[in-house]
Chains A and B, each alone.
Chain A
Amino acid sequence: MTPIDLSFVDVLLAALSLMIASGFSILLALNVHRRLAISAVRMVAQLLLVGLMLRYVFAISSPAITLLVLAAMLAAATYEVYSRQQFRFGGWRRFGLGGLPITIATLFVSGLALTTALREAAWLDPRHAIPLLGIILGNVMNGTSLALNAMLTSVQREKRAIEARLSLGSDRFQALGEIRISATRNGLIPVINQMAGAGIIVLPGIMTGQILAGMDPLDAAKYQILLMLLLAGAGTIGVIAATQLCVFAITDERHRLRLDRLTAMD
């Protein structure tokens, strides 16, 4: 089987479904069509730009350019984690709290994959490194931002209970323990749901893409399994690191709760 060659007209026709959905939104006064349209246009622009850029990066295949692209992806993901928070830190915590966990988790798991399952690929071969890091990064970013948002919102809500524990002699990890566990679970929901539903409820995106591109379904499944395990590992490392770091960010060296470091966003 050969891959189906997609023309731009084919891609545009796929937008028909979104137009129909937007029609319903207008008809039923749901008022979501505008946001849908903006998001869709943004997505098309982003993906086309990325496609063009990757074509260029793959063509020149320079390790320095590859590293630059990876760094830009990590920086963008860090900003995204920060911008998704309802309560935000200032100073180094502003970006460090999200950036550090996602960088550690993504680089560690990408490195693991590139030295084991994908060992035949050169480390900085852009055709392997960029898509692999991208998909791992996206997952880690989602889990991390969910976990941090849950944790900081809970800390605000449970301030008095946390301080009661601190007053009674708990250290910061004991005082924030339940909130940290709950936030960690929150951050892992997408990863766990993704694994639980894979193959039964949904055919994951990568597997679907590879089957549509002509790959044998069993080979596509193996790739998907490999990726899902990597994503789950990276997601979990990212979430655990973020919630752990958050305990340090929200308290000081004398184990005081420092909500003054947070600013609420509208």
Chain B
Amino acid sequence: MLHVAGREAANSPSDLATAEALVVENLSRGDGHCACSLTVAAGRCVALSGPSGSGKSALLRLIADLDPGTGTARIGKLARETVPANQWRRLVTYVAADSGWWTSPVSAHMSDPEAALRLLAELGMAEALLDAVPENVSSGERQRLALVRALIQRPRFLLLDEPTSALDPESVLMVEKLLMRVKREGMGLLVVSHDPAQIARIADRRYVLSRAGLTEIVP
């Protein structure tokens, strides 16, 4: 069980085994975006890299069902289309590189403030940030807060779009340490990153997306 929140997951269908993988088959946005297939096993981290504009963010958004497209996504036998969209996104949560915030203090964005405090401590961030208004905190802090906001909802799979792009090296390592912890606890991660060193540190599998398609890089 994940330790990011002190409560049982209330949003996962009972027939969903924790060890089941996220399977993506021929997912495409159309308009020249290649049909992508990949698998993210529970408790594993898959890294996705590739040139800008190749469709990495689009792929993550398609998996989270935020954009229309063709192809399928499922967790084990649980097909995305058979689950209400909001429930699917609680199971497979997308965190944008520059996530949006609404005009309330940061604490109002956190579904479990106690879990948020524990995660903030783990990331070396001040508790006072919860009282701040999102637009008044730095982009690096917002990026980590967005990660916290998603983690406390305890998704089965987390789709992270350049989660450390606005961070200093020390903060990057703290985020990676946190990601490795939740991974060990069973969460599957699909991370977009342009940093080969980071990919080497955190990823179990690596894919490169280009106009030609999605290719697995075997070390």
Q: Which residues of A are interface residues toward B (Cβ below 8 A)?
A: 158-171, 174, 178, 252, 254-258
Contact = CB atoms under 8 A, between A and B. Distances in A.
Interface string B94-120: 111011111000000001000000000
7 contacts: A167-B89, A168-B150, A169-B87, A169-B93, A171-B85, A171-B86, A178-B102
Interface stretch (B37-45, B61-69, B171-179): B61-69
A34 B84 CA distance: 56
Given A161-B102, A178-B102, A252-B68, A169 B89 contact: yes
A158, A164, A168 pick with most chain B CB within 10 angstroms:
A168
B4 to A, nearest CB: 14
Contacts of B90: 168-169
List of 9 A-B pairs having minimum Cβ-Cβ separation, nearest first: A160-B100, A169-B90, A161-B100, A164-B100, A255-B85, A254-B85, A161-B102, A171-B86, A167-B94
B65 A256 contact: yes
Contacts of A258: 68
Contacts of B85: 171, 254-256
A252 B67 CA distance: 10
Interface of B: 11, 64-68, 84-87, 89-90, 93-96, 98-102, 111, 146, 149-150, 153
A90 to B, nearest CB: 16
A97 B129 CA distance: 41
Nearest to B111: A168
Given A160-B98, A255-B86, A167 B93 contact: yes
The residue among A164, A178, A258 with the most chain B CB atoms within 10 A of its own CB is A164
Most interface-central of A163, A166, A167, A256 (chain B CB within 10 A):
A167
B96 A169 contact: no
A162 B149 contact: no
Contacts of B64: 167
A160 B87 CA distance: 20
A168 B89 contact: yes
B164 to A, nearest CB: 18
Contacts of A166: 66, 86, 89
Contact of B102 (A165, A252, A257): A165
A167 B102 contact: no
Contacts of A167: 64, 66, 89, 93-96, 99, 150
B95 A256 contact: no
A158 B100 CA distance: 8
Contact of B153 (A160, A169, A171): A169
Nearest to A175: B86
A126 B20 CA distance: 69
A163 B64 CA distance: 11
B153 A168 contact: yes
A252 B85 CA distance: 10
A167 B150 CA distance: 9
Contacts of B98: 160
Contact of A256 (B68, B96, B99, B111): B68
Nearest to B89: A169
B48 to A, nearest CB: 17
A70 B66 CA distance: 42
Listed residue (A161, A163, A169, A252) with the most chain B CB atoms within 10 angstroms of its CB:
A169
